[in-house]
Each structure stands twice: as structure tokens, then as C-alpha cells.
Amino acid sequence: MASTELHHTADRPSFEKPVSLLVVVAPYYKDIAEQMISGATAEIEAAGASWELVEVPGALEVPTAIAIAQRLSQFDGYVALGCVIRGETTHYETVCNDSSRALQLLGLEGACIGNGILTVENHTQAKVRAQADGQNKGGAAAAAALHLIALTRKWGKPTGKLGFLRTEEIKTV
């Protein structure tokens, strides 16, 4: 059974400069969402980072909200939270696959995202995975985002005027 297996947990990264995360949650199953948020925000605060929370209608909207924030805000990373429980139709596969794929594509474009969207067979499985004092998948998603931020900062290149400049830019350099 997965709940009795031991898993390695990487040490929490530390940061010299402030870190800010956006937690995007689809609270369709409110009790699950609350546990996920609790675990995620506790992990973020334990790392000395700050966070902001935004709710969206469902798991399919989570990647879109993150894409908007990535384009228009100054967050260092994102925590995607939600829960998709299998139903009687193929909608489950669509929501699971499309939300996961969209988050992965955003990550490959450089967004530091911890994916905490649970995909489970039933509400009992979701509760076990969501519990902040249990499997704490919300905390694990926040930890993943923090680790990606740390890597980005470690390997980041200086930003500024590199390469060729347009004529109008030469006057301001």
C-alpha cells in the first residue's frame, strides 16, 4: 500500500532573496482543497517565502490562471492545487490529461510549477493524499515549486542588455 512506503524527501531549499509564490486552487471538493492549501502554505512559509492564493472554477482553469500570472505578474513560482475524482464518463481522462499536459508545457517554458492536482478514483483516496498531517500532497507540490525556483536562481543568467541593440536603445545605454 502506498501510504506505508517510505519516500525520499529532498532538503528544503534556502534563499538569499525573497521568494513569492502564487497558489492556484480549484476548490471543487472544498474539504480536499482546504487540506491541500494548508499543506502548501505551511511549506511555503517554512521556506521563508510569501504567497498569494487565487481560486479558479476547476482543474482545467488552473494552468490558464498560471499562464496569465506568468505573463502579467512577478511571482517566482506557482503551486497548482485541485482534485479530479473519476466519474462515469471519459471527462475524467480529459481533465486529468489536459491539466497535467498544460502545466508541463508551462514548466518547459520556464515557469516553476509544483503540480498538486490529485487524480484519484474516489473521495477517500483524495482525503488520504490531501491531509496536511498525512501524505500532504499540497506541501509536496509547494516543495517542488520551491526546488525549481532554487534551480532557476542557481542556473539563471543575468538579465539586461545583451547582444545586439536597436539604434534607439543605444542612446539609453
Catalytic center residues: 91
- Pairing label, strands 113-120, 20-25: unpaired
Q: What is the DSSP string of 60-95?
A: THHHHHHHHHHHHS--SEEEEEEEEE--SSTHHHHH
**Side chain identity, residue 123:** H
Contacts of 12 (CB under 8 A, 6+ apart): 43, 46, 47, 143, 146
- Give me the half-sphere count of Cα atoms (radius 13 Å) on the Cβ side of residue 5: 5
Q: Phi first, then psi: give them for residue 24, nearest 5 degrees.
A: -110, 120
d(CA 21, CA 15): 13
Q: How many CB atoms lie within 10 A of CB 80?
A: 30
CA atoms of 162 and 139, how far apart (whole Å):
38
